Structure 1
Amino acid sequence: MIRLTRLNDSPLYVNNDLVKTIEATPDTTLTLVSGEKLMVKEDIETVIAAIITYRRLLVPPVESRLEL
């Protein structure tokens, strides 16, 4: 789960696997696979960075070793 901030400054923890889309309208709006919409203070780039960071904690990047 990633930690974000609601517009009223309260913390919000989101299961990143349930995020379907992220839009800037101008506030950042996450649409979940259920259709629920969440508005957060963080910009799109920050949300994406949080998702990538969290996923890397779970599954570290694989190094490619090609032998020809």
Structure 2
Amino acid sequence: MISLTQLNGNTFTLNAIYIEQIQSFPDTTVTLTTGKKFVVKESEEEVTKLITGFYRNITLLPLSQKKEGL
């Protein structure tokens, strides 16, 4: 689960597994697999970092990743 902030300042918790896409219109819009959309204050990059942290926390992503070419 990740915590996000609506444009009106209210915070909510979202199950990141249901996120299908994130776009900036310029406001950040999170679209779920159900088609429901949330417009949030966090940037697209911030939401991506929160999702990555969530996946690592539930061990869907490794704790460290090797970068290609290094």
Tell me the TM-score normalised to structure 2 length.
Answer: 0.83
Q: Aligned equivalents of 2:40 and 2:63: distance in 1?
A: 32
List structure 1 runs of 4+ shifted beyond 6 angstroms: none
Query: Which moves more between the two structures, 51-60 or 30-39?
Result: 51-60
Identity of aligned residues (%): 38
Q: Is the 8 A contact 2:56 2:63 kept in 1?
A: no
**Which structure has the bigger radius of gyration?**
1
Instruction: Quote the residue 1:11 is aligned against.
Output: 11
| Aligned CA-pair RMSD | 1.5
The alignment of Structure 1 onto Structure 2 pairs a total of residues equal to 63
- Give the C-alpha shift of residue 22 in structure 1: 0.3
Unaligned runs of 5+ in 1: 64-68
